A and B are shown apart, each in its own frame.
Chain A
C-alpha cells in the first residue's frame, strides 16, 4: 500500500490533487458541509464560473461551508482505488462520503459516466435508492439539469435553473432538517428543486410516457443579476487552467433565439449587469488574482448594450497590463473597436449554416453581407486566420447548403484578395459539428442524422470544401449520437449509463477515452435502442422533460418550429417581444 504522497509522485500533474491555491475560499468544517463536484479534470473544472458562484452562495450561509472536488485523471483514480484511499475534497482533504451533500455540475452530457466514477471512488452507492441516512445527498445542477431523466436514478435531487437563491435555500433547509426523507420532501417546496423519487414518469406498455406522478418543477430564476452573489476573488490554479484568466459575467441569457441553441432558451430571460458593477468586479478580480487577462463572458457579449462604455471603463480602471478578451463575438456586430482590444491571431465566426435559406430556418439572422463586412474589418486589422463554425444534419438541409459553405469561404477569400494589407496567406479553418436536437428548443422534436446521412454529407464536404488554405474538421459521429441519446433520454437510459460505466467508460468527452464498442455493448445489454432517442418525436408525445417548466412555453417552441419549416426568421428579443412565455419575468418587456 502506498501513501498519498507516494502516489502523487507517480501520477501525471500531481498539483491537480493538492489544493492550497492562491485565492482558494477559506473554509472549516461546519454544521452543513457541502462539496461542489465537477466531473472533469482540474484544468477544465477550474475554468468554470458556475461552480465558483455556487460555492460562494453556500459559504455565505451561516453554519454552512462549500469545498470542491474534481474528477481525478484515470491514473490517479486507479491509484486511489488500488490503495484504498477514498476520493477527497481539495480544500479540507476530507473524504467525499463525510460531506452532507455533494453537488455535481452538469455542464455536458458526456460527463455522466465520470459522475459515477467520482461517486464510486468516494465509496458512495451509485443509485439513489441504495443510499441511506448516513450517505451524502447527491445533488445535480447546471444546464443539463433541464433534462435530468437519464441520470435521475443516480441523484437524490436536482436544482434546475439559477442557483443563487435555490442553493441558499437548500443549504438553509438542510441546516434545519436532518432526516433524509423529510429533507427531500421539504426540498420540493423550494423553487427549482426536483426530487426524482417524488416526481416520476408513468409509461404505457409501449414505453411511451402517459403522465407524471408528483409535483411539477418550475425552474429557479435569479432575476436581479446586478445584485446577485458573485465571488470577489477567483482561485488561481496550481497549474494553468484551460481558461487561465479572470472572468466577469456581463449577461445571462441571449437575445438571439437561434433555434438549435439550448442555452438560448433555457437561460431566458436576458439579464445584464451595469458598467459600474462590472468594472468594480473586474478590478477586484484582477487585483486579487494577479491574472493579466480579463474575459468578458456571456452567451453573446457583443449584444451587451453598453459594451463600448464597459470597455472604456475597464481601460480606464484596470491596471494597464490587463488584456481584455471578448469571447462569443458575432459576425454582424464585429467592430474594429472591439477587435482592437483583442489579440490579433485568429477570429472566429459562427454562421452555422451555408445558405441564407438554412440560416433563416435556424433563425441565425446573419447575411452574406454581414459576413463580408465582418471579414473586411478583420482583414483591415491584420487578421489572417479565420475560423468558421458550421453544422450539418440541420432540419431541411440539402447538398446546396454544403455548397453554400463553399460560397462563404469564397466570399471571405475574395475579400482578403482585395485587402491591401495582407502580409501572409489567408488560412480558413472550418469546423463542422453534427446538429444535436436538444430539449426546450424549437428543434427538440427533430431527428438526429443517421450514420449514412452524415457519411454522405462528409463526401459532399470533401467534394466541395477541400481546397488549399482551408482546413476542415468535424466531430466523431458516434460521440454526437451518444450526446443526443443522453440529452433527449428518459429514465431507461440511466441503466445504459450505469452499464457503460461498469464497462469502463469514463471521460467520454475526451477522444482518447470514448469507446463506441463499450457503449454499444451497454445499449445491447440493457435492451435500449439508440434509435428511440434519435428518431423524430411526434408533437403530441409527452416528452421526458415535460414535467419541468423552464419558462419558455411549448406553444412558442411549436410556433418557432413552424417558422423554421417555413424558412421564416423570427429575430431576437432586441427586435421586439416574440412572446416566448417569459412575460412578467423578462425585463425587456
Chain B
C-alpha cells in the first residue's frame, strides 16, 4: 500500500471532500497503476482519505492511502503529473498494513496570520475557554482541544485537536478576532499529526 502526504491549495481547497475522493480515483486511473477494488455488487476503488477539513481551508498536510501493489519509486512524479494542479503529492511511504488515516490523525498545526498580537497565556490558563460552534449553534468549551498556541513574530501557530474530536480553526479565529482584533485573517493547515503528535515517519516507525 502507498501512503501519501499531499497539499490541497491553489484553488483545490474549495473542492469538497467527496469530490476530492473522486479526483483521487481519476488520478489513479490516469496514472495507469494497478489498484484494488472492494468486493461486492458495486466495487469501488480502495482509496482512503484523512478526515475532511473545512471547505476553503488551504492545507499543506493531508494524507491519503491507496490499496495498491505499486511501489514508492516514481510514484510522486507520476502522481503530480496526473493530478489536478491544486492537489500536490509531497511525500510517499510504502506501508505493509493499512493505516487508519481517518482515525489515527488526531491533531493539526495551523498557521494563522492577521490576528493582533496577544498574550497566549490568557487562553492557555483559561479552562473554560470556549468558541462558538456555528454548526451546533452553541458556545463550546474547547480548552483541552488546544494542544499548543504560540506566536512566532506576528504569526500565530495553533495545534488543535483533529479527527473524532476537533476544533475548527475558523471558530478559534473568529473568537480571537473578536477579542484581540485583526485584519482579514487567513489560516493554513501546516501539519497533520498522528497519535500524540507524531509525524508520519515517526508514526510508521512505531508500528
Contact = CB atoms under 8 A, between A and B. Distances in A.
Contacts, number: 65
A19 interface: yes
Contact of B85 (A8, A14, A20): A20
B80 to A, nearest CB: 12
A535 to B, nearest CB: 48
A137 to B, nearest CB: 30
B69 to A, nearest CB: 16
B12 A3 contact: no
Nearest to A236: B26
A289 B26 contact: yes
Secondary structure class of chain A's binding surface, majority of residues: loop
Contacts of B56: 8-9, 14
A238 B29 contact: no
B184 A3 contact: yes
Contact of A18 (B14, B23, B26): B14
A19 B15 CA distance: 11
A239 B16 contact: yes
B29 A15 contact: no
A290 B14 contact: no
A20 B84 contact: yes
Given A3-B184, A9-B56, A14-B56, A239 B19 contact: yes
Contacts of B10: 20
A15 B27 contact: no
Q: Which of A20, A289, A290, A321 has most B Cβ within 10 Å?
A: A290
B25 A290 contact: yes
A462 interface: no
Nearest to A6: B184
A321 B29 contact: yes
A290 B15 contact: no
B136 to A, nearest CB: 20
Most chain A CB within a 10 A radius of its CB, from B10, B14, B32, B84: B14
A18 B10 CA distance: 9
A288 B56 CA distance: 27
Given A9-B56, A239-B16, A18 B29 contact: no
B22 interface: yes
A60 interface: no
Q: How large is the interface on B (under 10, 10 to 19, 20 to 34, 35 or more residues)?
A: 20 to 34
Contacts of B30: 22, 287-290
B103 interface: no
A22 B22 contact: no
Contacts of A304: none
Contacts of A546: none
B28 interface: yes
Contacts of B23: 22, 236
Given A3-B184, A239-B19, A20 B12 contact: yes
A305 to B, nearest CB: 31
A4 to B, nearest CB: 11
Contact of B15 (A6, A238, A291): A238
A320 B165 CA distance: 41
A290 B84 contact: no
Contacts of B22: 240
B26 A291 contact: yes
A239 B29 contact: no
Contacts of A20: 10-12, 84-86
A15 B184 contact: no
A280 interface: no
Given A20-B85, A239-B19, A290-B30, A15 B25 contact: no
Nearest to A321: B29
B195 interface: no
A319 interface: yes
A239 B28 contact: no
Contact of A15 (B14, B32, B83): B14
Interface string A17-56: 0111110000000000000000000000000000000000
Given A8-B56, A20-B10, A287-B30, 7 more contacts: A20-B85, A236-B26, A239-B15, A240-B22, A287-B32, A290-B29, A292-B25
Interface of A: 3, 6, 8-9, 13-15, 18-22, 236, 238-240, 287-292, 319, 321
11 contacts: A14-B14, A15-B19, A20-B85, A236-B23, A236-B84, A238-B12, A238-B15, A239-B15, A287-B30, A289-B26, A290-B82
Q: Give 10 nearest A-B pairs by CB, closest first.
A: A290-B26, A18-B11, A290-B29, A290-B30, A14-B14, A15-B14, A22-B84, A20-B11, A9-B56, A239-B19
